[in-house]
C-alpha cells in the first residue's frame, strides 16, 4: 500500500456524477468518502421519470451503483452533510464536514411506523411541492439509504408520537449537529445543478398561471411514484392534460437570466412530448416552441422519431407571454412565429417550461474558481482538486458519467503521485 492510501478521495455530491466517481475509484482500490447534502443519494437523476433517448427508468442504473456502494467497504458516505472547508496542499488535504441531524439512527428499518403515527405534514421537496409528506418521511420509495428523516421544523420540538411508535429505538430527537475531519489525497466536486427559478420570468406566468409547471415538475408528475401516480393532471383542477405546450429556453440563453445553453432542455422536452402521447394516444397533442433545437450526433434520430408523430408540433418561435383564461384556467400562449412571420395564440391544457440548469456551485463557498456562469472552472484549480459532470458544464446523464469516470482516474493519479 502506498503512503497515500490511508487518505481518502473525497467526493462532494452524491448525484450520478458523484456516485460514478466514487465507485470507479473505490473499485480500483482507493478509499472514498462521499458527501451528500440531501438525505438520499442519486441527486437529480433520482427525480427523473425516464432517460432519453432509450426512455428507460433511471433506477435501473442507480440501483446498480447503490449495490456497488453497499458491497464495497472502501466507500463511506454521509448524507445530510456539507463540506465546510478544505485546507492543505496537493495530496494532503483536511476536509471538514458538517453532519446535520436527521433524528433517525442506523437502527431504522424503514417500517413506516413513524410516518403513520405522525399527524403533521410538510411540502414534499422531492416532488417540488406538488404534494405533502408527513414530518417523519423518506424521500421516496426507492431512496438509498432506506432511512427515514424527521423534519423537526415541521412537527415542533414537543411532538414525540414518532418516538413512541418506533419499536426499534431508531428515533433520537436529541441528535445534534456534528463535525468530522477527514484526511484526503484528492477532492472531486460533483455538486450538480438546480432548476432555474421560473418565477423570475414574469412573462411566462409561473406561480401566476396555475397550469404552468417546470420540466422537472413534469418529470415527477409523469413518474409512477410521483404526486399524481404518473398521470398528467393539471394543478388547478386535477383534469387530465391532453394538450401540452413546451416552452424552450425558459431562462437559458438569456442575458437577463442564464446566459448559457443548458444543453439537455431540447432533448428533455422531446422526451416529455412522448409522455403526453403515451398517456393520451388518441387525442394527446404536444406543441414545442423553440429558438433552436439542439440534438447533436446520436440524438438526431430521437428528434426525427418524435417529429414523425403528427400529434407533435415543433414551432420555431419565442414565447412572448402566457396568460390564463379566467373561466377555464387554460394557459394561453402568445408566440412569435418565425417561419410564418406573425404571431400565434395557442390555448392548451398545460404548459411546461424548459427551465435551465443553474450550477449548485454558484454563490456557494466551496473554494473553487468559478467561470462567469457559475460553473466550476475546470482549469486553474488547486492541484488534486477536480470537478465532475454538471458542476463544470451542462451535460446529459451519459456525458456526466463519462466525465466522472475520467475524474476518478485523475484523482487516482493524484494519489499515486504522492
- 375-390 pLDDT per residue, tens: 999 887 888 999 999 9
Q: What mean pLDDT do residues 320-329 have?
A: 97
Looking at per-residue confidence, does 159 or 262 come out higher? 262
**CA-CA distance, 328 to 49, in Å (whole number)?**
29
> Which positions ≥6 away from 300 have C-beta within 8 Å?
none
Helix (H, G, I), strand (E, B) or coil at 33: strand
**CA-CA distance, 207 to 220, in Å (whole number)?**
18
How high is the pLDDT of residue 342?
Answer: 85
How high is the pLDDT of residue 418?
Answer: 65
Range 197-357 has CATH code 3.50.50.60? yes
- pLDDT band (50, 70, 90) for residue 155: confident
- 187-219 pLDDT per residue, tens: 999 999 999 999 999 999 999 999 999 999 999
> Has residue 2 got a pLDDT over 60?
no
The mean pLDDT value of the chain amounts to 94
How high is the pLDDT of residue 302?
Answer: 96
Query: How big, in percent rounded to 5, are the helix, strand and coil portions of the chain?
Result: 30, 30, 45
How high is the pLDDT of residue 157?
Answer: 63
Lowest mean pLDDT among 15-19, 84-88, 154-158, 394-398: 154-158
- 95-110 pLDDT per residue, tens: 999 999 999 999 999 9
- 126-145 pLDDT per residue, tens: 999 999 999 999 999 999 99
> Has residue 3 got a pLDDT over 60?
no
Domains 3-100+177-192+360-417 and 197-357 share a fold: yes
> Has residue 1 got a pLDDT over 60?
no
> Has residue 341 got a pLDDT over 90?
no
- 80-95 pLDDT per residue, tens: 999 999 999 988 999 9
| Domain ranges (residues) in the chain | 3-100+177-192+360-417, 197-357
- pLDDT band (50, 70, 90) for residue 339: confident
Q: Which pTM does this prediction carry?
A: 0.95
Q: What are the grid coordinates assigned to 372, written together?
A: 462567469
Looking at per-residue confidence, does 298 or 82 come out higher? 82
- pLDDT band (50, 70, 90) for residue 352: very high
Q: What are phi and psi of 296, to 5 degrees?
A: -75, 155
Whether the bond into 53 is cis, omega within 30 of 0: yes
> Which positions ≥6 away from 149 have C-beta within 8 Å?
39, 80, 102, 103, 104, 136, 137, 138, 139
- 211-248 pLDDT per residue, tens: 999 999 999 999 999 999 999 999 999 999 999 999 99
| Residue whose C-alpha is closest to residue 408's, from 6, 27, 42, 5 | 27
Exposed, middle or buried: residue 341 (CB in 10 Å: 0-12, 13-18, 19+)?
exposed
Q: What CATH topology corresponds to 3-100+177-192+360-417?
A: FAD/NAD(P)-binding domain (3.50.50)
Amino acid at each position: 500500500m502506498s503512503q497515500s492510501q490511508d487518505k481518502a478521495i473525497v467526493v462532494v455530491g452524491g448525484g450520478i456524477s458523484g456516485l460514478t466517481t466514487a465507485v470507479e475509484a473505490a473499485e480500483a482500490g482507493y478509499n472514498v468518502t462521499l458527501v451528500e447534502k440531501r438525505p438520499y443519494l442519486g441527486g437529480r437523476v433520482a427525480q427523473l421519470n425516464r432517460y432519453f433517448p432509450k426512455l428507460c427508468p433511471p433506477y435501473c442504473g442507480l440501483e446498480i451503483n447503490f449495490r456497488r456502494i453497499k458491497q464495497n467497504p472502501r466507500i463511506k458516505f454521509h448524507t445530510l452533510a456539507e463540506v465546510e472547508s478544505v485546507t492543505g496542499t496537493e495530496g494532503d488535504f483536511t476536509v471538514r464536514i458538517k453532519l446535520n441531524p436527521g433524528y433517525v439512527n442506523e437502527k431504522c428499518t424503514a417500517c413506516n411506523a413513524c410516518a403513520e403515527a405522525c399527524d403533521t405534514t410538510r411540502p414534499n421537496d422531492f416532488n417540488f411541492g406538488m404534494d405533502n409528506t408527513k414530518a417523519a418521511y423518506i424521500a421516496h420509495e426507492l431512496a438509498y439509504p432506506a432511512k427515514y428523516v424527521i423534519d423537526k421544523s415541521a412537527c415542533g420540538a414537543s411532538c414525540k408520537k414518532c418516538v413512541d411508535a418506533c419499536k426499534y429505538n431508531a428515533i433520537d430527537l436529541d441528535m445534534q449537529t456534528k463535525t468530522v475531519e477527514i484526511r484526503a489525497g484528492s477532492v472531486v466536486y460533483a455538486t450538480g445543478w438546480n432548476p432555474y427559478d421560473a418565477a423570475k420570468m414574469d412573462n411566462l406566468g409561473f406561480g401566476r398561471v396555475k397550469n404552468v409547471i417546470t420540466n422537472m415538475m413534469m418529470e415527477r408528475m409523469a413518474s409512477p411514484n410521483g404526486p399524481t401516480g404518473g398521470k398528467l393532471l393539471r394543478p388547478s383542477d386535477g383534469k387530465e392534460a391532453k394538450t401540452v405546450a413546451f416552452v424552450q429556453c425558459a431562462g437559458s440563453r438569456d442575458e437577463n437570466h442564464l446566459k448559457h445553453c443548458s444543453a439537455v432542455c431540447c432533448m428533455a422536452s422531446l422526451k416529455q412530448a412522448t409522455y403526453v402521447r403515451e398517456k393520451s394516444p388518441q387525442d394527446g397533442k404536444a406543441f414545442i416552441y423553440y429558438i433552436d433545437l439542439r440534438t447533436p450526433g446520436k440524438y438526431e434520430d430521437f428528434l426525427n422519431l418524435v417529429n414523425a408523430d403528427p400529434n407533435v408540433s415543433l414551432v420555431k418561435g419565442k414565447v412572448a407571454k402566457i396568460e390564463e383564461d379566467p373561466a377555464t384556467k387554460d394557459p394561453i400562449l402568445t408566440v412569435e412565429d418565425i417561419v410564418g412571420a406573425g404571431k400565434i395564440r395557442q390555448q392548451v391544457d398545460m404548459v411546461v417550461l424548459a427551465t435551465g440548469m443553474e450550477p449548485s456551485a454558484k454563490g456557494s463557498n466551496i473554494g473553487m474558481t468559478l467561470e462567469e456562469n457559475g460553473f466550476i472552472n475546470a482549469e486553474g484549480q488547486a492541484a488534486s482538486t477536480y470537478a465532475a459532470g454538471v458542476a463544470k458544464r451542462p451535460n446529459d446523464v451519459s456525458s456526466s458519467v463519462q466525465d466522472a469516470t475520467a475524474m476518478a482516474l485523475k484523482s487516482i493519479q493524484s494519489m499515486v503521485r504522492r
